Structure 1
Amino acid sequence: MVSHPGAERQLTELDFARLSTLYGRPLPEELGTAHLVPSREIAPDIVTMYSQVELAYIDSGHRQKLTLCYPRDAEPALGFVSVLSPIGAALLGLRLGDMARWRLPQGEERCAEVAAILFQPEASGDYTS
């Protein structure tokens, strides 16, 4: 399943409020225009904060596990990526099967499918992380 351009992202109301405070300015368009959902109603196939996902890179087929986190918890070498990083911002709010697209600092574009959501806090009953 591949998302079509302009597919609507979904964010929990809590994630949106926390990100708005974190950014201290308007959110990037892809996040600022996302559909807001109460934490208890977010579908289990949506990437939320502290979700662990498996990405499948389109160009190489390489698979990578990442956990989306806030900057204070980021440990890229351990797979914990900040929501403020290009890949983190690209993942938040996507649905299982959607394509994440982002640019590396050198300008190279990357593309990977959200191949699995291995853990989502809300799906396990954690509505406040």
Structure 2
Amino acid sequence: MIPGNTVDANALSSGSRPRIVISATEFQRLSRLLEVQPDSPVLDYLSEELSRAQVVPDDQCDPDVVRMGSQVTYVDETTGETREVTLVWPHEAEIATRRVSVLTPIGAALIGLKPGQSIDWTTPGGDPRTLRVTGVRYEPGEAGSA
């Protein structure tokens, strides 16, 4: 099962937060998405991530940055499990095909990271975890729309 399909008030932590990069277009779309969604801990966390992100012009966003439509391989350093997911907009999410919404704890944690970067967070069950991105594949046009 892919983590991150539920969350409670203690589901995310500020833990270790590496520098993240987000394209200008995705920053705008994500900001608009946050405006129309009901409040939740995941939205608060994503809002914090956006507020600390380095926003770059779309053509200057490295292809190895986790962004919408990216296929991301990561290791849960606590369990040693390796997983691959595709980061998508909420209406495109489908757990069975490992399409994870940016509005899930795992999606909000991964956005903007690069291979080699790690982030600490807490699962919906209250377990502390460290996720390390090991690979990112991004193909323009796979990002869908908000």
* TM-score interval, smaller chain: 0.7 to 0.9
Task: Give the SS at the match of 1:61.
Answer: coil
CA contact (8 A) 2:73 2:134 kept: yes
Q: 1:70 aligns with which of 89, 92, 95?
A: 89
More strand by share: 1
The one of the two structures with greater contact order (alpha-carbon pairs below 8 A, sep at least 6) is 2
Q: How far off is 1:33 after superposition? A: 1.8
With the length of structure 2 as denominator, give the TM-score of the two structures.
0.74
One-letter amino acid matched to 1:50: G
Corresponding residue for 1:24? 35
Q: 1:56 aligns with which of 75, 79, 83?
A: 75
Pairwise CA RMSD of aligned residues?
2.1
Q: Are 1:12 and 2:23 an aligned pair? A: yes
Residue 38 and residue 21 in structure 1: after superposition, are their counterparts in 2 closer, same or farther (change >3 A)?
same
Q: Are 1:114 and 2:125 an aligned pair? A: no
Q: How far off is 1:6 after superposition? A: 4.4
Q: How far off is 1:128 after superposition? A: 7.0
Query: Separation in 2 of the partners of 1:58 and 1:28?
Result: 25
Query: Separation in 1 of the partners of 2:76 and 2:128?
Result: 12
CA contact (8 A) 2:24 2:57 kept: yes
CA contact (8 A) 1:40 1:127 kept: no
Q: How many residues align?
A: 121
Corresponding residue for 2:100? 81
With the length of structure 1 as denominator, give the TM-score of the two structures.
0.83
Stretches of structure 1 lacking an aligned partner (at least 5 in a row)? none
Residue 6 and residue 101 in structure 1: after superposition, are their counterparts in 2 closer, same or farther (change >3 A)?
closer
Residue 69 and residue 128 in structure 1: after superposition, are their counterparts in 2 closer, same or farther (change >3 A)?
closer
